[in-house]
Structure 1
C-alpha cells in the first residue's frame, strides 16, 4: 500500500514539475516527444534548442545540408537556427512549417519554378505519392523527398521508349507541342515534303499497356516503303530515291540512273533524250499504251496510209533515230500502184511527194502529166500520144531517149535524118519554141540554101539532084548533064578551079552558074 501511494505521489509531482517547465503542448509531428524525459532530445540543458539536435532527428534534411543541396543550404537560410522558423510548444494543431506562398523563393530549393509550374498550388506537387525518398515518405507532412525529374510527377506517356529528360523536347510552358524537339538532330532528319507532314502521319497512335500510346522511337525508316506504299510493286526496285526526291513524289529526278529497260518499253534512239513528262503526263504510275507509235505521236500523214481500217505504224517507214528520212524501200514502192523504174529510181522522194508544205503520198497522180508539165500540149496532136501518155515517145530512163515512129507522119526519116534529135528539127535554136506542124518536105524548109538559089527552078530547089540523105557529099552529080559538058583538059580539073568563091551582100558562096560558057569567062 505504501509503494502504491509513493508511485502516485511521484507521478503527481513529475507532472506538476513538467507543467511548470513546458511552455505548451508540442505540435502533432513532435507529440511523441512529450514528457520531461524527452526534453534533451531537442534541448541542451541550460541552453536553447540547437540545430544539431534537430538534424539528429531530421537526418534527410541533414544529408541535404551537408551536400549543400536544397533550400536549407541556400545563402538565405544557411547559418540560421531551426527554431527561428520552426518553433514548437504552440499546441497540437500548430504548423511547424509555415511560409508565405506568394513570396517564397522556390529557386532557393534548387528547382526554379517556370512556365505552368509558377501557377500551381504547392500541394499539387508536394504530395506523398510523389515523394521518392522513403525517409521523407514516412513523414505526415513534408516538402522534402521530391525528385526534380518530370516523370516523378508526370505520367511517362512514352512508356520509357524515350529519354527520361522531358526537357529535351518539351518546355514547362506546355507539353504539347514539343517545341524544343528538333527532328534534324535525330537519325532521320526531315527533308523536303517531310518537313510539312503532320507527326501523326508517321508516328501512329495506338494502345499500349492499356494506355494511349504514340510511337516515336523504333519507327522504321531504312526504306521509303517503310511508310509509303510501293505503287510500282517493286517493279523498279526498292530504292525510291533512285527516281524520286523528298521534295515530291510527282517531281522526278533527272533519271540518268534509271534503267528504263526494266520497264515494258525500252528507250532507244530519240526516246533516250525525251523528257519523262512528255510521255508520263501527271502520273508515272498510270499505264501508258505503247504498242504503236500513234499511241503518243500524231499521224502527220493524216490517215493517208489507212487501208481497209488497217493503218501501218510509223516504224514501218521510220526509225527511232528520227522522223527525218525514211526506211521505205524501192521494193516496197514497187508494190504500190506506181512502181519506180528508170530515172524515177534516182529521183528523191521530195521531188514527187512534198509538193506543198506537207508531204503527200496519196492521190498525187499516176500518169506523167500528173507531175510533169506537158510542153507539147498545144503543138502536138493527141493522135501521136493518146491521153497525153508521154511514154508514147519517151522512156523513163531519160527524156532524150525517144522512140517515136516518124513513119507515122508524112515525112519518113532517111539517112542522116535518122540520127538527128527531135530538137534539131522541131525546136527553134536559142528558144524553147516547139514546132511539129507547118513543115513541107522541101530541104530548104529546114536547111539554108548555100547556093543562093543558083539551082532554083520554078521557085524550088531540089537538093536531092546532087546530094543524098546520108551526107552532103556530092556522089552522083554528072557534069555532062549540065549545059557545059566537060571535055579534054576540063575533065581532069578540080571543081574549085572553075567554081570559085564569090561574095554577095557579105555572104560568101561558090559560083556554079555562069552567064555564058565562052573561054574568056574563065580564061584571060
Structure 2
C-alpha cells in the first residue's frame, strides 16, 4: 500500500514540475559534456530503452570515423585486440567540462596507433604536446615529417615534402642508409662517387645543382670551348683522358683511310659544336683537285680515302655506257675531251661516223651500229642474228647471200618484202613458170635448191592424191593455165575425155572401173549391171559380147549372140531364157502348163512342140494362136457352122467325146 502511495505521489510531483518533460530527463544522473550538450534532451540519441547492447551502435552512428577505423582495423580503436563497448572507456553525465576520453601519457602505448614512435620520437625528451596540439583530436595529429619539421627544412622545400625519402627519425644529418643518389637524375659513377656533396651542392638547395659537365669542369676544358659544352659526348666520369666518342657511330661521317689519322682540328677549325661541316670531299680538298673541277664535285665516285693517286672506286660499267673490249683500252681523254661535265653521246655513230663513211656502209644501214657489230671487232658482225632479230629467218643459200644483194637501199627506210617472188620474179620469168604458178614460190620450193621441189606434197597439201602413173606426170600436163586462178576439176573425165573409148556411154565416173595404174585393168563388177554374168557367161571374154568399147551397144537378148545355135529356127520365139539358162543349153526347165496360158492336157500331151509352133516367130514374143480352130480347122466336121470355139462341146482327150450336157452324143 505504501508503494502505491509513493508511486502516486511521485507521479503527482512530476506532473507539476515544469522543467521535467520525460521520465528519462527526471532520472538523468548528471549533465553531459559540452560536445554532447545539444542532444542532452534527446536521450534516445545515445540510449536505447531496455537494450544496453544497442547503445554501442548508437555511438558508432555518430562517430563515423571511429566506426570506419574499427571496420578497417586502422587507428587506435581498430587495432584493439579485444572488442569492447564504448562505455567501458568513455563515461558520460559527469558535467560539461568532464574529460570522457582520458589518456595516461605515461602508460599509453603509441605503437598501437598508426604512428609508431621511433628514433628521436621515442626519446623521453619528446612530449605528447609537441605533436598533439590543444583542441585537436589525437587522431587528427599530422603524421608527415614536413607538417612538424617544416621550419627545420634546410632545403627550403626544394626537395619536396617527403623527408623520409632521405632522412630517418634517428638522426636528420645521416642520410647514407636511406638516400641513393643513383635514383636521381644524376647517378654518381666513376670519380663522382668519391666527391663530397658540398663540392657540387654549394647550397642546401640540392636540386639547383647543375648536371652538365661544363658547369663544373669548364676550367678543366682543354679544348677551350671549341667542341661545345657537351663533354659527355666524348668523355666519361671514370677518366677524362679516355673518350667514348666514335666518329663512325656518333656522326653521319665514317672515318676511313687517312682520315682516321687526321687530327680533329684539321677539319673542325672554328667552333666545332656550332659549325656543321660539309661531308663532300671537295669541301676540304678543292685545292687538291687535279681535274680543276672538270670531272665534277663527287670525288668519291673515283677516289677513296686511302690514296688519291689512284681511282679504284670508279667503275665505268656502272654508268650508262659500260666499257667493253676495245673501249676498255681507250684513254679517258679520247672521249672526254672537255672533262666529265660535258655529256657525251652514247650512240656508236656519234663517234664512228667517219669510219662508216670511209670503210663501212656509208650510212645505208642506219645509225644503229650495235644491232650488228660489237666492241670486240667491227669486221665481224657477231651480234646480229637475222633469224632472231628479224621476221625473216635465213635458210640454206640465203645464209651465204651478202646483205647488199637484198638491202640495196637504206636499210631502215626500205621495208623489203619477205615473199620469194618479190626478189626472184626475174628467175621465174626466165627459167621458171613464167607467172603461171602465181607468186607463192615457197609452196613448192625451198632455199636449198630451186630445182628440187621437196617442200610441196600433192597428197598432203591438196585434196587430190597422186597415185601410180599420176605421180610421174609433169605439173604442166594438168596445170596448163594459172595455178591459183584456174581451179582444175578432180574428175577423170575432165582430163581424159578425149581418151574415153566408151564415148560417154558409161557416165563420167571412170574411177568406178579404172584406176591410175593402168586403163586396161578394170575393176568393173558386171553383176551390178542389168546383165549379171551367170553360168558359162562368167568365163566368156568381154570382146566376144562387146565387139566395140561402146559397151552399152551390146544387146542383152540371148538370140543376139546365139542365133546360130538356135535349133528351133525361131519357131519357139526369141526369148531363149524362157526355157534355157546360162549353165547349159541342154538343161531346160520350161513348164507349158505353168508358164503359159495354154495348158497341155488330153490329146495335147503327147504332141511335139513343132506340131503347134510350125512357123518362125516374127517378134521377141511367141504369137502362136491358142484357139482350137486355128489348128484344127481341117478337122472340123461342122465346116464352121458351130463357130470356132470347139472347146464348148469337145474335150482335148478325143474329138468324139462331147462334154456332158451339150445335148449331143456321138
- Normalised by the length of structure 1, the TM-score is 0.38
- Larger Rg over CA atoms: 2
Bigger proportion of residues as helix = 2
More relative contact order, 1 or 2 (CA 8 Å, 6+ apart):
1
Task: Give the structure with the higher percent strand.
Answer: 1
